Chain A
Amino acid sequence: MRYLEDIQIGHRRELGSFTFTAESIKTFAEQFDPQPFHLDEEAGRKSLFGGLAASGWHVASVCMKLLVADGQRAKAEAEARGEEPPVGGPSPGFRDLRWIRPVLAGDTLTYSSEVVSVRATATRPGWGILQSKNVAVNQRGEEAYSFLGSVFLPQRGDAA
């Protein structure tokens, strides 16, 4: 986590990988998205997905898990350099979220995040908004998931 002024457009971070087992797909689906194609192999095969498919919200939740872990790594790296990293704010939302390909049991997604834009906010002095495009590719290198996320970041401003 850095100040708004430190962010470079186009900066990209690898977030890591996650394998969607049949068990993890069903556990998430039972709680949040119990449509038959997320719970049952046979129903999945008969669906547009062609197999037991992870809920799109499971794919999205795992992305957040990896984004947070990456933020914690970045914070530790900054502290190791003797810097005191700022505390980031919440997110106002996202746009253009695409479930491009089904994520089937056994698939491994590798996620990355690239900075698209940074801007100051008129409504919250001292803060700006960072927009990033987050993407996941499967083990065949095919894009399976992407979205444009936004998050509030503090500005260094005159304080530094």
Chain B
Amino acid sequence: MTLTFEDFKPGHFGTFGPRHITRDEIVAYAREYDPQPMHLDEDAANASMLKGLAGSGWHMCSLMMRMIYDGFLHKSASMGSPGVDQMRWLAPFRPGDDLTLDVEVVEARASQSRPTLGIVKFKFSMLNAKGQTISEMITPIMIGRREAAAGN
């Protein structure tokens, strides 16, 4: 059963994960997209403000996307997103972390210009195993409405 716009009501939606993070994947992403020493090398990272090897913030965004997809977006009528209102990188994520994604619906509104979809604004919080929120993202996603999905 496909989740449509109507299935997203303001309030807590769900918690997904945990997702285990390895040193190899942190370094692999950093080599390709964010080769700053604090994401690649322990000694440089220890000397930085992050005080230890930590993943790129853009890697965090990409991991969040994958957990959103695996958690519920894969079985939804997602039609993409116009952007991100705000992303806060509150604390580093590290090799060995087990990350959990907490999903809250902030608001859901029908699109005036496109009657086949609605816009759901989410707040995604990524927590580590200690329960510390390490990143927080507020973003709208366009999701197809039930009538339109049934007509396909």
Contact = CB atoms under 8 A, between A and B. Distances in A.
Nearest to B36: A68
B36 A99 contact: no
Interface class of chain B by DSSP: mixed
A99 B82 contact: yes
A29 to B, nearest CB: 10
A97 B65 contact: no
A34 B78 CA distance: 12
A111 interface: no
A17 to B, nearest CB: 16
A95 interface: yes
Contacts of B63: 32
Contacts of A99: 80-83
Interface of A: 31-35, 37, 47-49, 53, 55-57, 60-62, 64-65, 68, 87, 89-99, 147, 152
Contact of B34 (A56, A65, A89, A98): A65
A33 B65 contact: yes
Given A33-B66, A61-B62, A93 B57 contact: yes
B85 A48 contact: no
